[in-house]
Amino acid sequence: MSYARQMLDTFTRTVHVDADVLAAAIDAMSDCAQSCTADNAADLSEPNLAEMVTCIRLCMDCADICTATAGVTSRLVDYDPGVLRPLLESCLAICRSCGDECERHAAMHAHCRVCAQACRRCEQACRDLLAALD
């Protein structure tokens, strides 16, 4: 059981979102931030560097947005939909773009294949959390 799930289980205050969906989202965001940071560093060592520039850029944006979204959702108490909804939409959008770009390089670079999986999982987790907020 992840720390995010364990922490949620200890919250005495009611969180008005399904705890499984929320914990899955927090874990997916943390994993995606880490994968994107590692992937752009790996991209920088590849011989076809010039073709990796878009992947590097998207990974940096994706890591920044996933980190912030993981922070906000980790302390989720009486969430403000005016803040959280667009933040999740932005996170979903960058995970989709970054996942698409990583997938383009997946056959050549195993690190991009792993990162694409982390992005896809986070994209879906954002979608699930947005649906759970309704």
Minimum distance from residue 14 beta carbon to a second copy (Å): 10
Q: For residue 100, state whether it binds a second copy (rule: CB under 8 A).
A: no
Inter-residue contact 123 to 32 (CB < 8 Å): no
| DSSP structure string for 65-78 | HHHHHHHHHHT-SS
Determine if residue 28 is left, alpha or beta; phi over 0 gives left, psi from -120 to 50 gives alpha, anything else beta. alpha
Q: For residue 70, state whether it binds a second copy (rule: CB under 8 A).
A: yes
User: Please, which of residues 37-66 interact with a second copy by CB under 8 A?
Assistant: 37-42, 44-45, 49-50, 53, 56-57, 60-61, 63-65
| DSSP structure string for 23-53 | HHHHHHHHHHHHHHHHHHHHHTTSTTGGGGH
The residues binding a second copy (CB under 8 A) are 2-4, 6-13, 26, 30-31, 33-35, 37-42, 44-45, 49-50, 53, 56-57, 60-61, 63-65, 67-72, 74-77, 80, 82-87, 89-90, 93-94, 97, 109-111, 113-115, 118
